[in-house]
Amino acid sequence: MPSFNAVLLNLLLPVILAVIFFRSSALTTLRDGVKPLFTHNRLESNDTVVAGPAGQLAEAIDALLSPHFLLSLVVSVISVYVFVYLYQLFFVPLNWTRTEGDVGYILDDRGGKSKMDVANEIRRRRRMGDIPPVYPNGWFALFRSFQVQKEPRSICALGHELVVYRGESGQVFVVDAYCPHLGANLGVGGQIRGDCLECPFHGWTFRGDDGKCVKVPYAEKVPDFAKIRSWPCLERNGEIYVWHHAEGAEPTWFPLEVEEITSGKMKYHGITEHFINAHVEEVPENGADIAHLGHLHSPIMFLGRDLRVIYNLFWSFAKHEWQGTWEIDEENKHTGTLSLKHKCTVFGIPLPLLSVTAEAVQVGPGIVHLVIHHWLFGDAILIHTITPVEPLKQKLTHCCWSKSFPRFAAKLVLFAECLQVERDMMVWNHKTYLSKPVLVKEDSLIAKHRRWYSQFYSENSPRYTEKKTEMSW
Ligand code: FES
Ligand SMILES: [Fe+2]
């Protein structure tokens, strides 16, 4: 089903273009010059015939090439594109997807390698020391609700191949992808039957809520042991979350519900997606690393994301200023909050339109609700999720919601947040995790955050071990 935006671009745009052309005076000249070719119209006494149809054609071509016509053509095309740009800015949610390797890598002197090759090379070469387990216990986002509708969706998360589908009752299920019969992937051609999923290979059918096989189309009896793993999951705030626990324990806490999203009072303003090559804990730890705010996130955002250019002294008269503190919620131990004050200043003078206060509420190891308060536009919330794909590869998403922010302002907030995160990504993608970092007193929140985060690991939490090849000479 084409989006409204695509319809606008492909159908309405040529129509608008044609209307503007038709109304231009140059085209009127052209049209009047060509008319006798098609209409055999009567000549008025004062009409001048140049040289029959050939002359009229020459006149038409002259009109087409006249500066007046060319100028109006250029103005018309620019007007249409400005119109489309403004329409997108003010009415279309942001959709910004970066593939792996897009952000944070330096391609110079890499002998023509692709961004993906460079990302893989750096990941392979990087020294990872004594790192914490790679898949913490908690809720992790797999998809946005609108991404799972009629078709089952495959995804790799937490080192597993999974299938997410919406049964005919509307309920969402998450199951292991591989069929226990002969191993077909249920996410590739699997069919939804009621709340069950039918394998594309021989038609075995599995129940979503407990994974039990309920039908083998060609067998008299369904074996009791025929089942797939069904994962605890829930849909909240427009996200589909799965529960992961290394010991298989039931959830002891749940993602916070934002009532205004559930009730539809908040409007959706867009999504961004990134892949990060780093240990999962690096990302939330950023919230307790107050010192990096005043350095990495200080250069004005128009300088971009490339760490090689943002520290430009010429532009240092304009910068972002941050004050923050991070605390654990004593009643809900799985929750920690970074409280932030942000100002944008030019020669030390704050720009009120670009100043906000915010709370980044970390809910478990993989969810953050970044609540932004703006004195003019009201409140917006960025639901930020981080999901391990593989041991050292994370998927990061941000979805922006607000009831009062105008669309362009909400998109600017989302864009600014992601631009700042892309600066972090350039660090994360290249750094190593130090289990014993050298910290000063002012870094004490980092150590506090590590102690807090360790509650999400348990005895059987999967660990990453580097395979080292011994070289003997
Ligand atoms: S592999 Fe799935 S039914 Fe045979
Ligand atoms: Fe950061």
Cα of 451 to ligand 2 centre, how many Å? 20
219 in ligand 1 pocket by Cβ < 6 Å? no
pLDDT in tens, 142-180: 999 999 999 999 999 999 999 999 999 999 999 999 999
Give residue 60's identity as a one-letter amino acid code: A
199 in ligand 1 pocket by Cβ < 6 Å? yes
What's the maximum distance between 2 C-alpha atoms anywhere in the chain?
Answer: 104
Q: Which residue has the tokens 């704050």?
A: 350
* Tokens standing for residue 332: 């809900």
Which of 202, 213, 222 is the pocket-test mutation for ligand 1 (most atoms within 8 Å of CB)?
202
184 in ligand 1 pocket by Cβ < 6 Å? yes
For residue 36, the model assigns a pLDDT of 45
Q: Which residue has the higher pLDDT, 17 or 299?
A: 299
pLDDT (mean) for 243-255: 97
Protein residue with its CA nearest to atom 4 in ligand 1: 202
- Chain centre distance of CA 313: 32
User: Residue 206: nearest ligand to its CA?
Assistant: 1
200 in ligand 1 pocket by Cβ < 6 Å? no
pLDDT (mean) for 6-24: 62
202 in ligand 1 pocket by Cβ < 6 Å? yes
Residue 395 has pLDDT above 50, yes or no: yes
For residue 471, the model assigns a pLDDT of 44
Task: Output phi, psi for 244, to 5 deg.
Answer: -120, 130
182 in ligand 1 pocket by Cβ < 6 Å? yes
Q: Is 125 exposed, middle or buried (0-12, 13-18, 19+ CB in 10 A)?
A: exposed
For residue 137, the model assigns a pLDDT of 98
Atom of ligand 1 nearest to the CA of 184: 1
pLDDT bracket for residue 40 (50, 70, 90): very low
For residue 83, the model assigns a pLDDT of 85
Cα of 295 to ligand 2 centre, how many Å? 10
82-86, 326-330, 400-404: least confidently modelled range: 82-86
Q: Is 378 exposed, middle or buried (0-12, 13-18, 19+ CB in 10 A)?
A: middle
Q: Which residue has the higher pLDDT, 73 or 426?
A: 426
User: Residue 213: nearest ligand to its CA?
Assistant: 1
pLDDT (mean) for 93-103: 87
pLDDT in tens, 205-244: 999 999 999 999 999 999 999 999 999 999 999 999 999 9
Which of 197, 198, 204 is the pocket-test mutation for ligand 1 (most atoms within 8 Å of CB)?
204
Cα of 428 to ligand 2 centre, how many Å? 10
Contacts (Cβ under 8 Å, ≥6 apart) of 284: 362, 365, 368, 386, 449, 453
pLDDT bracket for residue 473 (50, 70, 90): very low
Residue 103 has pLDDT above 50, yes or no: yes
Atom of ligand 1 nearest to the CA of 216: 3
In the three-class reduction of DSSP (H, G, I as helix; E, B as strand; rest coil), residue 45 is classed as: coil
pLDDT bracket for residue 254 (50, 70, 90): very high
In the three-class reduction of DSSP (H, G, I as helix; E, B as strand; rest coil), residue 141 is classed as: strand
Residues 223-260 as b or e (16 or more Cβ within 10 Å = b): eeebbbebbebbbbbbbbbbbbbbeeeebeeebbebeb
- Distance, CA of 338 to CA of 325 (rounded, Å): 6
Cα of 213 to ligand 1 centre, how many Å? 11
Query: ∠ CA 433-434-435 to the nearest 5 degrees?
Result: 115
Cα of 151 to ligand 2 centre, how many Å? 36
DSSP 376: T
- Chain centre distance of CA 207: 31
Computed over its alpha carbons, how large is the radius of gyration of the chain? 29
Atom of ligand 1 nearest to the CA of 183: 1
- Distance, CA of 388 to CA of 153 (rounded, Å): 17
pLDDT in tens, 256-291: 999 999 999 999 999 999 999 999 999 999 999 999
215 in ligand 1 pocket by Cβ < 6 Å? no
Cα of 310 to ligand 2 centre, how many Å? 14
pLDDT (mean) for 380-400: 96
280 in ligand 1 pocket by Cβ < 6 Å? no
48-52, 268-272, 376-380: least confidently modelled range: 48-52
Cα of 297 to ligand 2 centre, how many Å? 7
Give me the percent of the chain exceeding a pLDDT of 90. 71
Protein residue with its CA nearest to atom 3 in ligand 1: 202
Give me the percent of the chain exceeding a pLDDT of 70. 86
Atom of ligand 1 nearest to the CA of 203: 3
In the three-class reduction of DSSP (H, G, I as helix; E, B as strand; rest coil), residue 49 is classed as: coil
For residue 50, the model assigns a pLDDT of 53
Q: Which residue has the tokens 């009831």?
A: 403
Cα of 199 to ligand 2 centre, how many Å? 44
222 in ligand 1 pocket by Cβ < 6 Å? no
Residue 443 has pLDDT above 50, yes or no: yes
CA quadruple 434, 440, 446, 451: dihedral, nearest 10: 80
Cα of 340 to ligand 2 centre, how many Å? 12
188 in ligand 1 pocket by Cβ < 6 Å? no
pLDDT bracket for residue 115 (50, 70, 90): confident
- Distance, CA of 377 to CA of 16 (rounded, Å): 33
Cα of 20 to ligand 2 centre, how many Å? 47
pLDDT (mean) for 115-133: 78
Q: What is the pTM of this model?
A: 0.84
Helix 13-23 with 67-91: angle, nearest 10 deg: 140
Residues 2-22 as b or e (16 or more Cβ within 10 Å = b): eeeeeebeeeeeeebbeebbe
Atom of ligand 1 nearest to the CA of 199: 2
Cα of 296 to ligand 2 centre, how many Å? 7
